[in-house]
Amino acid sequence: MENSGNSVRMVGTLLLGAAVGGLLGVLFAPNKGSDTRKKIMAKGDDLTTNMKDKVNAFIDDVKSEFEAAKEKGAGLVDNAVARVQHG
C-alpha cells in the first residue's frame, strides 16, 4: 500500500508541473488577453478532467486491494475456525 502513496505523490507532482508549465507557456505567448484567458480556461478544464480520472482510477485500485484483503482475511478466519474445530 505504501507504493500506492508514492505513486499518488508522483502523479500529483507531474500534474502540478504540467499545470505550471502550461500556464507559463500560455502567459508568455504573444496573444491577446482574451485568447490567453480562453487558453488558460481550456488548460484548467483539461487538468481538472485528467485529475478526476486519476483520482477515480486510484479509488478503484484501493477498492480492489481492499476487497482482496477482505477475501484473504475471511479465508484466514475460516482456516482458523476449521483448525479449532478439528484439533
Give the tens place of pLDDT for each residue, 34-78.
887 788 788 888 888 988 898 899 999 999 999 999 999 999 998
C-alpha cell at 70: 477482505
Rg, Å, the chain Cα set: 23
Note whether 76 and 67 are within 8 A (CB): no
pLDDT exceeds 70 at position 80 = yes
pTM score above 0.75: no
- 87 confidence band (pLDDT: 50, 70, 90): low
Cα of first residue to Cα of last residue in the chain, in angstroms, is: 35
What pLDDT score does 72 carry? 92
